[in-house]
Structure 1
Amino acid sequence: MAAVSLNNVVKKFGTMSVVHGASLEVADGEFVVFVGPSGCGKSTLLRMIAGLEDISAGEIVIGGRVVNDVEPAERGIAMVFQSYALYPHMTVEQNLSFGLRMNGNDKADTQRRVSRAADILRISELMHRRPRQLSGGQRQRVAIGRAIVRNPQVFLFDEPLSNLDAELRVQMRVEIARLHKELGVTMIYVTHDQTEAMTLADKIVVLRAGNIEQIGRPLDLYDDPNNQFVAGFVGSPRMNFMAGTVVENSSSVVTVKLANQGGALLRKPLGGPLPAIGAAVVLGVRPEHFGLAGRGDSDITVKVDVAEHLGSTSYVYANAGGGEELVIEREESRHEASLDRMTVSLRATHTYLFDSAGLRLR
């Protein structure tokens, strides 16, 4: 096992910079997930840690050793890719042992490592099958097993579940979480899937346009985002945003007038500097934080477009006017979710306020 440090790492392709001075500490045995929209630099960052991409500036340290100029095979890492990359003409056992055999590893030790990986991943009964005889989930287990047999200090995963269907993704998430718990090895995982990030990570790194926006534990990012981007990206369904204007600011309280909710007012306490009267702000509300009418600090009425009933929970997709679309979560409320219009309440303590630049007002 090993800790991983990134110190002001930069990546440029020609004159175009795609990673802008990323700094990060991954503790020994920690499970860290890189998450962000397509093109944000998360896979490039992972490939630089693996040594598959040269860094343009900065320093990468694995297990206390600077590895900027160290070959990938010498870094003590193993990588699992989006594509399974299995040899189609080999059996599962041969796929698992191939890398060790090519490196001249002792036959007995190779067999021991392969058997251990097969037991961990519960694929012992598949050892004599070829990849074409396996399901997608089984192939991904073999790909992970090929990494396990190397006894790496660090596991790197580049969107390993994106080719699987929804049910298999759930199963494999559980398998990877169990694998981390059993092995206790440092893991760095790239995904754009919110559920994967929230359920797997000890720590999430949110990236946008080559910059690290925020680092923290999953629920810390969910409950305490630093800016509107993180607030909207972490969580599924995403946070709702409503345009507003500050109409009063006094005694550590701002009063916000919501532009598209019939002039509804919400008084929100803030601990920091108060925005000026007339300043444009954005109010954020999680779907589960809309309350019953009359039970909050302010009520708004919305037009119901679609209601999804998922058993004990319903999601109401509503139009608040001015092009604002809201998602409202309701538990055991099928009747209310079937209405054409509905009134919900906002509680100031369960809302977030952002300035015109998207920064959180606290």
Structure 2
Amino acid sequence: MAGVTLNEVKKRFGAFEVIHGASLEVNDGEFIVFVGPSGCGKSTLLRMIAGLEDISGGEIGIGGKVVNDVEPADRGTAMVFQSYALYPHMNVRQNLSFGLRMNGNPREDTERRVRHAAEILRITELLDRRPRQLSGGQRQRVAIGRAIVREPEVFLFDEPLSNLDAELRVQMRVEIAKLHAELGTTMIYVTHDQTEAMTLADRIVVLRDGRIEQIGRPLDLYDDPANRFVAGFLGSPKMNFLEAEVVASGSTGATLALLNHQGAKLTIPVANAVSGGERVVVGIRPEHFREAGKGDCNLQLDVDVVEHLGSTSYVYANTNSPEQLIVQREEQQGRLDTLNVSIPSARVYLFDQAGKRLQ
């Protein structure tokens, strides 16, 4: 096993820089997830660790050794791609062993590794089948098994579940988590799905436009986001954002008028972080709304849509503005035209207009 270090890593395509000095230390045996919207640079960063993309600046270390000029096959990594990339004319056994056979690995050791990977992934009974005879989940297991047989120091996953249906994605998330627990090997996983990130990671690396916005444990990022982007990206449904204006500010807190809610006022303890007349953005997660009268600022919302999800409902409310509020409630039966809720000041996040976290 080995840790991975990125030190001011950059990537340029001509004059266009897509990775802007990324620095990160991945501990030995840690499960790290790169998450962010499409085009943020997470797959490019992963491919640079694998050696499939040249780096334009900085250093990449694996196991304490700089690997900038080391060939991909010699880095001690194994990569699982979004596409399964299985050879259709080979059976599962042959697909698993192909790379080892091409490298001249001894036959007995190759067979041992294939058996071991098949047992871990519970695909022993599939070894004589061709890829066309497998389900999507089974094919993904074979693709992961092909990485396992290499016995790498670092596993690299590039959106491996994106081709699976919703039920299989959940099942394979559990399988990958169990695999990490069993092998204890360093894993770096790329996804745009924040649910995958929250459920799999020891730590999450949130990227935007080729820059690392924040690094931390899943619940730390959820509860204590550094800025509006991280706050809005992590969480399903996403955090609500309300435009507000500071109407009073002092040493004990600030009073805000919510601009699209008839000037409803909310007082929060920000201790001189804002000044009167300043425009700010209030953030509150759907599950943090309270019943009317049980918080610090009451709102009446016009309901657009209610999503029923068993014991929980999500109410989507129209505010006659670009804001659409999402409120989590216990299962809501019957037609609902309006909803009265209250915002508890202790659950509020505050951001300036540029997205910097104030509270």
TM-score, normalization by structure 2: 0.99
Cα distance in 1 for residues equivalent to 2:130 and 2:122: 16
Name the structure 2 match of 1:141. 141
Does the 8 A contact of 2:308 with 2:332 survive in 1? Answer: no
1:96 is matched with which residue?
96
The correspondence of residues 101-112 of structure 1 with structure 2, limited to 5 A, is: 101-112=101-112
* Percent identity between the two aligned chains: 71
Q: Distance in 1 between matches of 2:252 and 2:56?
A: 46
1:57 partner letter: G
- Choose 164-173 or 322-331, whichever is displaced more: 322-331
How many pairs were matched up? 359
Q: Secondary structure at the match of 2:319?
A: strand
Alignment partner, residue 356 of structure 1: 353
Q: State whether residues 77 and 154 of structure 1, in contact with CA within 8 Å, keep that contact through their aligned partners in structure 2.
A: yes
Answer yes or no: is the 8 Å Cα contact 1:248–1:254 preserved in 2.
yes
One-letter amino acid of the structure 1 residue matched with residue 352 of structure 2: D
1:58 is matched with: 58
Contact map agreement 1:243 1:280 (CA 8 A) in 2: yes
Report the alpha carbon displacement of residue 323 of structure 1 after superposing the two structures with TM: 2.3
TM-superposed CA distance for 1:345, in Å, is 0.4
Structure 1 regions of 5+ residues with no counterpart? none
Aligned-residue offset at 1:320: 2.0
Q: Residue 60 of structure 1 contacts residue 68 of structure 1 at CA under 8 Å; is this kept in 2?
A: yes
Residues 1:42 and 2:42 are matched in the alignment? yes
- Give the 3-state SS of the residue equivalent to 2:140 in structure 1: helix
The one-letter code matched in structure 2 to 1:201 is: A
Worse-matched range after superposition: 237-246 or 312-321? 312-321
Q: CA deviation at 1:322?
A: 1.7
SS in structure 1 opposite 2:94? helix
- CA RMSD of the aligned region, Å? 0.8
Residue 331 of structure 1 and its aligned partner are, at CA, apart by 1.5
Structure 1 counterpart of 2:314: 315
Q: For residues 282-301 of structure 1, what are the structure 2 equivalents within 5 Å? A: 282-301=281-300
Superposition map of 1:1-362 within 5 A: 1-271=1-271, 273-335=272-334, 338-362=335-359
Give the unaligned 5+ runs of structure 2: none
By how many angstroms is 1:101 displaced? 0.7
- Amino acid corresponding to residue 126 of structure 2 in structure 1: L
Q: CA deviation at 1:256?
A: 0.7
Q: Secondary structure at the match of 1:43?
A: helix
Asked if the contact 1:80/1:156 (under 8 Å) is kept, the reply is yes
Q: Which runs of 4+ in 1 moved over 4 A?
A: none
- With normalisation by structure 1, the TM-score equals 0.98
Contact 2:247-2:256 at 8 Å conserved across structures: yes
Q: Distance in 2 between matches of 1:261 and 1:91?
A: 63
Q: CA deviation at 1:91?
A: 0.3
Aligned mates of 2:326, 2:333 — CA distance in 1: 15
Letter in 2 for 1:110: T
What's the CA shift for 1:332?
Answer: 3.1
Q: How far 1:303 moved relative to its partner? A: 0.7
CA shift at 1:276, angstroms?
Answer: 1.3
Q: Retained in 1: the 8 A contact 2:33–2:188? A: yes
Task: Give the whole-Å Cα distance in 2 for the aligned partners of 1:47 and 1:228.
Answer: 28
Q: How big is the shift at 1:321? A: 2.7
- The DSSP-based 3-state class of the residue aligned with 1:360 is coil
Distance across 1 between alignment mates of 2:295 and 2:337: 22
One-letter amino acid of the counterpart of residue 358, structure 2? L
Residue by residue over 1:131-171, the C-alpha shift from the partner in whole angstroms, topping out at 9 and shown as x without a partner, is 00000000000000000000000000000000000011011
Q: Residues 309 and 331 of structure 2 are in contact (CA less than 8 Å); yes or no, is this contact kept in structure 1?
A: no
The offset of 1:252, in angstroms, is: 3.1
Q: Secondary structure at the match of 1:361?
A: coil
CA contact (8 A) 2:253 2:269 kept: yes
| 2-structure distance, mates of 1:322, 1:74 | 56
